[in-house]
Amino acid sequence: MLGALAAAAAMLALAACGSQQPRSAGGGRLQVVAAENFWGSIAAQLGGDRVDVHSIIVNPATDPHEYEPTPSDARAIAASQITIVNGIGYDEWALRLLAAESQPPHKVLDVGRLLHLQAGANPHQWYSPESVQRVIDAITASYTRLRPRQAAYFAARRRSFETVALAGYHALIAKIRQRYAGVPVGYSESIFRPLGEALGLKLITPYSFAKATAEGAEVTAAEREQVDAQARRREIAVWVLNSQNVTPEVRRVDEIVRAAHIPIVTITETLSPASEDFQQWQASQLRRLAAALQQAAG
């Protein structure tokens, strides 16, 4: 029995010698895998034609928290030179795939670690303009580390991404902030909080309610009462709904909001439609939010 085990192990170990990490040579396109397409879209635009980006979660109908990776995801991550994960407990499956092999240093760009956020913090950092900026810096830095000779190219890509591609996104944020700062809004899921704060809106939904929605946890009776009352008494000007994570609890609040004729703004967790890029997607959501705020404010 021991012999059979040892023989099997030895055989596989021998075979294993033939498989090592791909070395990153001086040239060629960088192979980048992003666990989710919001980071993938940014990485692709920053890399231009020197980088191939593959995003794993692209379907707006998938709940990224509960994604079950496939062997081809594992292959893509194994073959990549840079893997971008969100971290903060959002994509544990990707970290599990990464744990299967010894990684070369700097291969993994973990957004949570970059921002020094622990598990339990709000994982939806792509909804924070400030965090997005820091991820942009980090992505360009890893490209430059692996392809130092193309540093100028990556610097130019970054400049154009920040000043041209993201111009509309930043302008919309500034405009909403200027006109509607302090307006009380409600939101179904913690995903909107970073953006809501950046917009200067008054987020009056208890954070524990929004966090519970994101994590699929139970909502307490007191929280439910508060959220319902805010909607019934029309204390919120606008209700922001994450359509990619609608729990029965959220659906219930939704009905009250509808009955009270409060405008609803729908946002999504990942790029929607999946063919849009990060800034188009965010800008169209911001425009809808601006329209709803205008309708509410009159």
Partner 1 sequence: MPMAGAIRWQTALTALEPGDELARRRLGRGAAMSPHLSPDLVSDAQQLLAYTFMVHALIAASIVAVMAAVTGWFMVLRRESFAGHTLSVMAFPGAAAAILAGIPVAFGYFAFSGGAALVIGAGSVRRGRGGGVQAALTGTVQAAALALGFLLLGVYGGLLESPTSLLFGSFLGISATQVVSLAVLAVGVLAFFALVGRPLLFASVDGAVASAHRVPVKALSISFMVVLGLTAAAIAQVTGALLVLALLVAPPATAMQLTPRIGVSLLLSILTALVTVWLGLGLAYFTNYAAGFFITTVAFTIYLAARLIGTLAWRPRREMVGPRPPSKADGLRHASVEG
Binding footprint of partner 1 on the chain (CB under 8 A): 1-2, 4-5, 8-9, 12-13, 15-16, 18-23, 25-29, 31, 37, 40-41, 44-45, 52-55, 58, 65-76, 78-79, 89-90, 92-93, 96-102, 119-120, 123, 212, 214-218, 274-275, 277
Q: Compare residues 176 and 279 and give the one whose CB is closer to partner 1.
A: 279
DSSP labels for 92-145? HHHHHHHHTSPPPTT-EEEHHHHTT--BTB---GGG-HHHHHHHHHHHHHHHHH
Minimum separation from the CB atom of position 247 to partner 1 (A): 14
Minimum separation from the CB atom of position 122 to partner 1 (A): 11
Cβ count near 70 (within 10 Å): 10
Minimum separation from the CB atom of position 23 to partner 1 (A): 7
Q: Compare residues 26 and 182 and give the one whose CB is closer to partner 1.
A: 26
Q: Compare residues 48 and 200 and give the one whose CB is closer to partner 1.
A: 48
Q: Compare residues 227 and 289 and give the one whose CB is closer to partner 1.
A: 227
Structure tokens at 27: 């040239």
Q: Compare residues 63 and 130 and give the one whose CB is closer to partner 1.
A: 63
Q: Compare residues 79 and 156 and give the one whose CB is closer to partner 1.
A: 79
Encode burial over 180-192: b for 16+ CB neighbours within 10 A, e otherwise.
Answer: beebbbbbbbbbb
Decide if 204 contacts 182 (C-beta within 8 A): no
Minimum separation from the CB atom of position 27 to partner 1 (A): 5
Minimum separation from the CB atom of position 151 to partner 1 (A): 18
Structure tokens at 119: 């598990």
Minimum separation from the CB atom of position 34 to partner 1 (A): 9
Across the chain, how many H-helices and E-strands are there? 13, 8
